Amino acid sequence: MNGPQDLGGRHGFGPVVPEDEDIRFHADWEKRVLGLTLACGALGHWNIDISRHARESLPPAVYLGSSYYKIWLRGLEALLTQAGEVTEAELQAGEMQQPGLRPERRMPAAVVPKVLASGGPANRDGPAPAFAVGDKVRTKNHQPAGHTRLPGYARNCTGTIIAVHGCHVFPDSNAHGRGEAPCPLYTVRFDATELYGPEADPTLTVSIDAWEPYLDRV
């Protein structure tokens, strides 16, 4: 969707200031938000793409005015209320007023390291790829109301396939409960001038991962 999360190539937001990679959290509450998000995912009400869509669906003023983990918290609140696990009254009171729906799916602390180490692989069996390394492709100029991983700055642009990654879960479908719909995933390389116009540095390129439904053959 064309939401506040899709900032690539937009002006007016200031420079990107990288932080020290050793700094994971700026306050203890951020650790709790990460823990809550992982634990609530074990309830099985949503998948990773649904959770991403919940965060990007926040109102622009809320999203752009929130820190990273505050965005996670607001998205988690929306997911839990939609699933019926918590109520608006409980959020306002800051305490449980009724039992959860799936207490049997609690994630014990002892299993967390194993769960995190196993990750969530998204590769699946699926159709053969329509494109090969070296093929020229053009991204579609779609403006979806729902979730997509095709960034706005890379739509309707011509690039070159530089890697084929097999089939993976298609997030545009998975984020809306329509099934995983696995399809081929590629890395596509673009000249900077193709994405940002003739004033861009002609020596630079940008690569993105793009699912097959995003692409047309040139």
Would you state the pLDDT for residue 17?
A: 87
**Do the domain assignments include residue 10?**
no
Summarised one tens digit per residue, pLDDT across range 35-53 is 999 999 999 999 999 999 9
**Do the domain assignments include residue 4?**
no
Would you state the pLDDT for residue 11?
A: 86
d(CA 66, CA 56): 12
Summarised one tens digit per residue, pLDDT across range 72-119 is 999 999 999 999 999 999 999 999 999 999 999 988 888 888 888 888
**101-122 in b/e burial notation, b at 16+ Cβ within 10 A?**
eeeeeeeeeeeeeeeeeeeeeb
Same domain, yes or no, for 34 and 71? yes
Structural domain boundaries enclosing 188: 123-217
**Do the domain assignments include residue 175?**
yes
Q: What is the mean pLDDT of residues 172-196?
A: 97
More confident residue, 189 or 2: 189
**Do the domain assignments include residue 12?**
no
CB 186 within 8 A of CB 213: no
Joined tokens for residue 46? 């949503």
Same domain, yes or no, for 76 and 129? no
Number of domains in the chain: 2
In a 10 Å sphere around its CB, with 0-12 CB exposed, 13-18 middle and 19+ buried, how is residue 53 labelled? buried
CATH of the domain at 47: 1.10.472.20
Q: Which pTM value belongs to this model? A: 0.92
